[in-house]
Structures are given as structure tokens and as C-alpha cells.
A and B are shown apart, each in its own frame.
Chain A
Amino acid sequence: MKTMDLQELEKRFQEKIDKEIKIEPNDWMPDEYRKTLIRQISQHAHSEIVGMLPEGNWITRAPNLRRKAVLLAKVQDEAGHGLYLYSSVETLGADREATIDDLHSGKAKYSSIFNYPAVTWADIGTIGWLVDGAAIMNQVALCRCSYGPYARGMVKICKEESFHQRQGFESLVTLCNGTPTQKAMAQDAMNRFWWPALMMFGPSDDESPNSAQSMKWKIKRFSNDELRQSFVDATVPQAEILGLTIPDPNLKWNEETGHYDFSPINWDEFWQVVNGNGPCNKERIEARTKAKEEGMWVREAAMAYAEKRALKKTA
């Protein structure tokens, strides 16, 4: 293709984006746009799937049948989100299994929050409230993402995530109105999940190299720091309703900015966890790799059977 043509295509592409016209799978798009989306959507899909593990741990130990059913339904929703997202990745020409192999080899990342352990029942409510809450902040903005299939998938995902966030909050209301032991369990979970939840928005804007281009392409609508601030502002009053203390001595309302101030984030911890040194990185990837390896014969059987059926039909 001639350089002029390419420039013209890029210009038309950007014009569509500027006019808020969605980009669809068969439309022309810059390679970098495609690559960015494949990376972002597949990482989002991996996060949903890896995210099933800490919560899935508690399905067999849920304290009553209603909570067990709610948790089953929630984790099943996460698996469903993974499915839509892998399908979105496929519309960009990527292979689902290849992106999963990238997860297992460590090439592809997923949300670091799932490398923290879920050690008590209160963690389940806290994950719903804080982790799904933080995810919603990101995902509501993604409903307006310039890439059509991703944006549409996100609309459905957001509806379910906001349900999960409310379920998590409701579960914590029960704990916080319960016995001192239950309240202490909820506070302990808050202490462990607060900072990792804030880290979910990613590095600060000045440390986030891909952000500017993603904003121009309207894959991203708000910066990491803007989303993090919105999350803190929305969550502090909810913690007050629960009567839980946020583990940050510097957290206070700032009249001037109209936002809450909070302590600097421990970015060293963030990068350590991203790069494989979180408490559960190894266990999470091992569990996913094991599921794939141990399921190989099942997939082979399904393929072999389908082939036999097809042969019988043509015979």
C-alpha cells in the first residue's frame, strides 16, 4: 500500500473516532489500534477467568445456602464475561487459545488484585464491594469505547458487575451489623484489600506510557488517576455507612478540590505483584495451566466425536 493511502486511511479512521462512530471488525484500523485492543481485551478476559479462583475457593465453604447460590451465580457471571471478551478478541483476528497460552507463559498480564488471597468469608463481600466497584469505574467508561464489539460487551458486563458490587456491599452490611467477631472480620478484609483495590487503576498518569494514544483513539476515556479519584470519592461514604475504617491515616476531604486526599500508593508493591511476586501469582497460573492440561483429552474427545458424526452424515 502506498504511504499516501495509509495516511488517508488513518485520517479517515481518526475522523470516525472523533465523530463517535464505532469501529467494527471489518473496518480498516491501524495495526497499533488492533494490537492495543487485543492486548487490553485479552488481559481483561484473563482477569475475569483468573478472578474466578479466589472467589471460587469459597463456594464450598459459603456460610449458608443463599450465599452459596449467590456466589455460584457471581463466579459463573465472571466466566461468562470471560467468554464474551475472548469472543471480542476473536473479532480482531486473534486466536482465543493463543491468548490463553500467553497468559500461562506469563507474557500476558491480568489484574493484579487476583494475586491476593481470599482468606476469610469477609473477603468475598469485600471483593464484591471494592474489586467489582473499582472494575465498574473502569468499565462504565469502556461502554463508550470506540471499538464496537468491546463497547457492547461491556454494557452487559457492567450491568452484572454493578449487581455484584451491591451484593458484596449487602454481604458486608450483614457482617458489620453482626457480632464483634464478624465486624472484625470485615475490617480485616478492608485492611488487606483497600490498597490493592486502588492499585487496580494502574500506574499514575505520568507513569502510564500507552495512555495518551488510547485516549486519542477513545479506547480510554478517563486517565488512571481520574478513575482512581472517582473510586475513592464514591467509596469513602460507603465505608462510613458500614462503619469500617479505611486504612489510610491521610485520607481526608479536601474542600478546595472537592475530592478526598489520600496517601501515596506503594508502587513498589504494585510492580512486584505485576511482575510475579504477589502472594498467589504462582498458584493462580498453576491452577489455570492445570485446568487446560487436564482438560486436553476432553477437548480432543469432543473434536474426535464431532468428526465421526460429520463422517457418518456424509456417508
Chain B
Amino acid sequence: MKNEDLYNYVLRLGDDSLILGQRLGEWCGHGPILEEDIAMTNISLDLIGQAMSLLDYAGVLDGQGKDHDALAFLRFENEYRNALLLEQPNGDFANTMMRQFLFDAFRKPLYEKLLESTDMQIAAIAEKSLKETRYHLKHTSEWVIRLGDGTDESHQRAQTALDLLWRYTDELFFQTEEDTTLISLGMVPSMSEIKAEWSKTVLSVLEEATLVIPTNNWQFEGGRRGMHSEHLGFLLADLQYMQRAYPNMKW
């Protein structure tokens, strides 16, 4: 492998985009308002586009001639490196918006820092993706506030979503020992910087939304090491269906 440390890092980014993009696509045709149906598929489309760029680059770093499709469709479950948060089922609209918000608040500062990466390819992908992610964060922040400070029912639903998803947030800031080498080379930022930015955004939006961080702060992790929830298998069954049922064909 040409650069295993960077490959692993880029694979995590690519898998996050891929798995969340796949989840959001499930909403198509079923959104609560036509405008939101469009918004969710739009975010899905952006994420699938990001996954293509990131997984292509991961394939280059891997050096075995794999393209984005080989990586997206032909790995086994324990080879995916997405955070557990992103494979969680859509649930209701509050749950989908909360999951997206918690992720966007992480992705925006991450891309802002990756813009300064000494790796030109990463910097270029970050530049394109940051424009999209800014819109996503604006959109989801507004919805979290609207739902939290809307009706009693929407407040309750938003709080339930936050209670459920909070325990998957720490894993977003997962960092390996190998990552420290990449950090010292100026290729990627330290996750502590990203977490500080994330906390600032999350706290201010949740406050405006009149939502409270759950007192149970137990945190799950595993996705970054390939230890996934039961949900991922079903997601992959859909995602990989065609490639597995009709192997080695061009589509």
C-alpha cells in the first residue's frame, strides 16, 4: 500500500459520506413536506458525490487499482469504517435532522481545517465539500431549532432524538496513533480542535432549540474499527444488492 495511514483516514471520511448518503436516500418520496423531500435528497446527492471523490482517492492511496465502486460495494461489513451515528436508522424527521445536524457540526470544522492540508488532493476535496456542508449545517441547525422550539410534540420528538443519538457523538472524534503522524505532517487536523468547534456549535443551537444534553453520557464506539451495529448489515444488503447478485458487470 502506498500510504496506509492516509488511506485509513480517507476511508473513514468516505464511508461516513457514503453511509449517511445512503440513509438519506431512503426518504425520497416520503418527506413530510415536498420542499424537505427535495432538501434531503439534495444532501444525499452531495454526500454520494463526496463519497465518490473520497473513495476514489482512497483507492489511489491503496494502490491496487480499486475505484469508488469497488470500495463502496465490495467490502464486507467489518471493513466499513463509518461512525456508528451514520448507520442509525432514519426514524422520524426529528431523528433524521438531529443525526444530520450532529454530523454537519462536525464535518464543517473538519473540512475547514482540511482545506489547509499539505495533501493537495484532500485540500481540493475539502474545498468542494465545504461549500455543500455549510449549507447542510445551516439547514439542519434551523430545523433543530424549529423543532425544538416549535410545538410540544416536536420538542418531545427532537429531545428523544437527541437522547438517542448523543451516545454516538464522541466516536466522531476518533483518532488513531497513526493519525498523529498525519497531524505532524500537516495533512489532517487534530480532532481536539474539531471537537472544540463542534461543541460550540452544538451547544449554541441546542440552547436556542430549548433542548438539553442527556445526563446519561455513556458513549458507544466501534464503527471506526469495523465493529458495527445490527443496522449496517441491512443497509449494505440494499446498497450491495446489484453488485452481489450480478457480479462483474458494467452498469
Contact = CB atoms under 8 A, between A and B. Distances in A.
Interface of A: 49, 52-53, 56, 59-69, 72-73, 75-76, 79-80, 82-83, 86, 121, 171, 174-175, 178-179, 181-182, 287, 290-291, 294-302, 304-305, 308
Nearest to B239: A60
B206 interface: no
23 contacts: A52-B28, A61-B239, A63-B243, A63-B249, A63-B251, A66-B52, A68-B25, A69-B49, A72-B41, A72-B44, A73-B45, A75-B41, A79-B37, A121-B242, A181-B246, A181-B249, A291-B32, A294-B32, A294-B92, A295-B93, A298-B32, A298-B154, A300-B151
Contacts of A291: 29-32
Nearest to A300: B151
B241 interface: yes
B190 interface: no
Given A61-B242, A178-B249, A178-B250, A49 B48 contact: no
Give the most central of A75, A287, A296: most B CB within 10 Å: A75
Contacts of B251: 63-64, 67, 121, 171, 174-175, 178
Given A291-B29, A297-B157, A300-B150, A63 B34 contact: no
B30 A301 contact: no
Interface in B123-171: 145-147, 149-151, 153-154, 157
B35 interface: yes
Contacts of A179: 249
B31 A295 contact: yes
Given A61-B241, A287-B29, A291-B29, A82 B34 contact: yes
Contact of B151 (A63, A73, A76, A297): A297
Interface in B8-44: 18, 22, 25-26, 28-38, 41-42, 44
B211 interface: no
B41 A76 contact: yes
A68 B242 CA distance: 12
Contact of A295 (B25, B32, B52, B250): B32
B68 interface: yes
B146 A65 contact: no
Interface of B: 18, 22, 25-26, 28-38, 41-42, 44-45, 48-49, 51-52, 55, 68-69, 72-73, 92-93, 145-147, 149-151, 153-154, 157, 238-239, 241-243, 246, 249-251
**Main SS at interface, chain B:** helix
B247 to A, nearest CB: 10
A76 B150 CA distance: 27
A49 B18 CA distance: 26
Given A297-B151, A305-B146, A65 B36 contact: no
Given A64-B69, A69-B52, A298 B36 contact: yes
Given A59-B25, A302-B146, A83 B69 contact: no
Contact of B52 (A62, A65, A175, A294): A65
A175 B25 CA distance: 24
A308 B42 CA distance: 29
B48 A72 contact: yes
A63 B145 CA distance: 37
A60 B22 contact: yes
A301 B153 CA distance: 8
Contacts of A56: 28-30
Given A59-B28, A305-B146, 18 more contacts: A59-B25, A59-B41, A63-B243, A64-B73, A68-B25, A72-B25, A79-B34, A175-B251, A178-B251, A291-B31, A294-B32, A295-B93, A297-B157, A299-B33, A301-B151, A304-B154, A305-B150, A308-B149
Sorted from nearest, which 8 A-B pairs have the closest CB atoms? A295-B32, A301-B150, A301-B154, A63-B242, A63-B251, A56-B29, A298-B32, A56-B28
